[in-house]
């Protein structure tokens, strides 16, 4: 079989984007968008990737001369759609551990304008003992500080700053990256002039990324290569939907013109305040996931699309999303409803095979950040308890019944089936002890279980038993789940008004 290099030519363009991270997400999100912009505008730019960890894909990427295929798949206008695109926007990949000199040489490039990254949520963090003369420094921000100091010393002290657009899934990712770079600059005694240059000449945006990337389709790779007619070891699959919100405290229009993604028809928002978009994503997309996955698992559902295709679970999801989460939110109602509709379409995507148990990881902290704000806002606005969110808490409490803690996991049991509950060990220990001391088959014990969970202000940031009628509501749903089983309890819940 031919290879992708046999059927596709590389395209020589200016390397205007430095990318930290060679993983599936950035290649199917940022590099895919750059490729579209190259096709539809005069952007004419390539991405040079830096492999930020010692082990990675740099050799494989360079063996294919940066070429690879994205397959974006999903449902559009009620029809299954598959889009194939040969990506030519990546010029090369530098393994900074083997090619530190190449990395530092790139800092002197006149063409370089942007830096993007996805080094995981823990990547934007400060590590002690990183030094300027390390080759390279261990942490991602320290590597960037080395790069910027070299760039600063390679040009006049004015200009040649870079625009950073981090994609790590933390709030204020650009602000955090900037703060750590400045911390290293002070620690390494790089001078006030350099610090001023970073502050004045470089732009650190905050960004929000939204696309589910499923990566290399291991089980389908041979079939896909046969279909497209060439071998590609870097196939990258993703959903059709994409959204990139980029927040800058500098001139929005200048950034929009320099990075013509919106001009290329891509779903990119440039703004001076991304708070609405972040809240919308966290509470609608992530919040709906967390609202339903534990109940869905106990109900017998395996994947998210299966949940959307089950009449009972779908009714539960719709009530929680439209009647409670959206009802609790401020902002443009039409934008909220449109996004919610997109989210449900995405959830139905048969290609994602999104396991509900995978989403269950750290459900206690996820409920606090994703769903508790909706619950509290709903109560404040409507002076009553949102019942689907209350049922979700009851489902969480029953899901966390387990024993045998090992490596941040605990064995859970329901309907003679076993599953893994994954969370911080302190959370698992709390529930293991709670269920050892209280039998959920006993009504009085169930009240104790619910009370101890809701009153754990260390988890929730407040004592939830102080919210009028919430404890009573959760106990009612918890009783139904324990006495009747999840299938009956959920069915009766969604049909209670019929």
CATH architecture of the domain with range 4-272: 3-Layer(aba) Sandwich (3.40)
pLDDT of residue 158: 79
pLDDT of residue 282: 94
Cα–Cα distance for residue pair 307/253, rounded to 1 Å: 42
How many CB atoms lie under 10 A from the CB of residue 136?
20
From first CA to last CA, the distance across the chain in angstroms is 60
pLDDT of residue 122: 78
Q: Contact at 8 Å (CB) between 5 and 65?
A: yes
Read off the pLDDT of residues 248-283 as tens digits, 9 standing for 90 and up. Answer: 999 999 999 999 999 999 999 999 999 999 999 999
Q: Contact at 8 Å (CB) between 285 and 343?
A: yes
Question: Which tokens hold the place of 288?
Answer: 């709906």
Longest dimension (CA), the chain: 75
The backbone region for 78, taken as left when phi is positive above 0, alpha when psi lies in -120 to 50, beta otherwise, is left
pLDDT of residue 78: 86
Q: Among 120, 147, 143, 115, which Cα is nearest to 130's?
A: 143
CATH of 276-494, one of 3.40.640.10, 1.10.3720.10, 1.10.1040.10, 1.10.10.10: 1.10.1040.10
CA-based torsion, 478, 484, 485, 491: positive or negative: negative
Strand partners, 402: 412
The backbone region for 71, taken as left when phi is positive above 0, alpha when psi lies in -120 to 50, beta otherwise, is beta
Residues with Cβ within 8 Å of residue 416, at least 6 apart in sequence = none
Domain coordinates in residue numbering, the chain: 4-272, 276-494
Q: Which pTM value belongs to this model?
A: 0.90
CA-based torsion, 142, 19, 205, 329: positive or negative: negative
Question: Which residues of the chain are under the pLDDT cut of 50?
Answer: none
DSSP state string for 56-83: SSHHHHHHTTT-EEEEEEEEETTEEEEE
């Amino acid at each position: 079989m031919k290879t992708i290099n046999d059927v596709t030519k590389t395209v020589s363009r200016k390397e205007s984007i430095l990318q930290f991270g060679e993983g599936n997400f950035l290649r199917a999100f940022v590099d895919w968008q750059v490729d579209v912009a190259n096709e539809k505008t005069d952007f004419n730019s390539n991405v040079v990737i830096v492999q930020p960890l010692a082990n990675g894909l740099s050799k494989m990427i360079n063996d294919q001369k940066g070429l690879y295929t994205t397959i974006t798949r999903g449902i559009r206008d009620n029809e299954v759609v598959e889009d194939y695109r040969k990506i030519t926007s990546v010029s090369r990949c530098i393994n900074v551990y083997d090619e530190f000199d190449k990395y530092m040489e790139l800092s002197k490039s006149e063409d370089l304008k942007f830096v993007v990254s996805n080094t995981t949520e823990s990547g934007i963090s400060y590590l002690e003992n990183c030094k300027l003369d390390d080759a390279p420094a261990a942490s991602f921000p320290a590597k960037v500080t080395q790069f910027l100091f070299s760039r600063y010393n390679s040009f006049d002290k004015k200009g040649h700053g870079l625009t950073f657009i981090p994609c790590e899934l933390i709030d204020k990712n650009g602000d955090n990256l900037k703060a750590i770079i400045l911390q290293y600059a002070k620690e390494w005694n790089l001078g006030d002039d350099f610090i001023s240059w970073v502050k004045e000449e470089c732009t650190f945006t905050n960004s929000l990324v939204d696309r589910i990337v499923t990566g290399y389709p291991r089980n389908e790779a041979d079939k896909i290569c046969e279909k497209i007619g060439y071998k590609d070891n870097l196939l990258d699959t993703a959903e059709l939907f994409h959204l990139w919100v980029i927040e800058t405290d500098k001139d929005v229009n200048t950034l929009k013109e320099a990075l013509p993604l919106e001009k290329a028809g891509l779903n990119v928002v440039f703004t001076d305040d991304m708070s609405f978009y972040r809240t919308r994503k966290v509470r609608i997309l992530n919040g709906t996931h967390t609202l339903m996955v534990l109940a869905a698992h106990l109900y017998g559902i395996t994947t998210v699309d299966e949940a959307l295709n089950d009449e009972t679970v779908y009714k539960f999801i719709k009530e929680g999303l439209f009647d409670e989460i959206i009802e609790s939110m401020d902002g443009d109602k039409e934008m909220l409803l449109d996004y919610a509709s997109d989210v449900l379409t995405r959830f139905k995507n048969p290609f994602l095979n999104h396991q509900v148990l995978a989403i269950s990881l750290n459900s206690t902290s996820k409920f606090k950040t994703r769903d508790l704000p909706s619950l509290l806002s709903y109560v404040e606005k409507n002076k009553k308890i949102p019942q689907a969110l209350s049922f979700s808490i009851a489902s969480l409490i029953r899901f966390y019944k387990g024993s045998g803690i090992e490596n941040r996991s605990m064995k859970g049991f329901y309907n003679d089936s076993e599953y893994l509950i994954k969370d911080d060990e302190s959370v698992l220990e709390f529930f293991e002890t709670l269920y050892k001391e209280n039998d959920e088959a006993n009504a009085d014990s169930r009240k104790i279980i619910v009370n101890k969970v809701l009153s754990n202000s260390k988890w929730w940031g407040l004592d939830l038993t102080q919210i009028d009628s919430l404890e009573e509501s959760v106990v009612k749903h918890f009783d139904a789940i324990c006495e009747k089983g999840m299938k009956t309890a959920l069915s009766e819940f969604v049909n209670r008004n019929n």
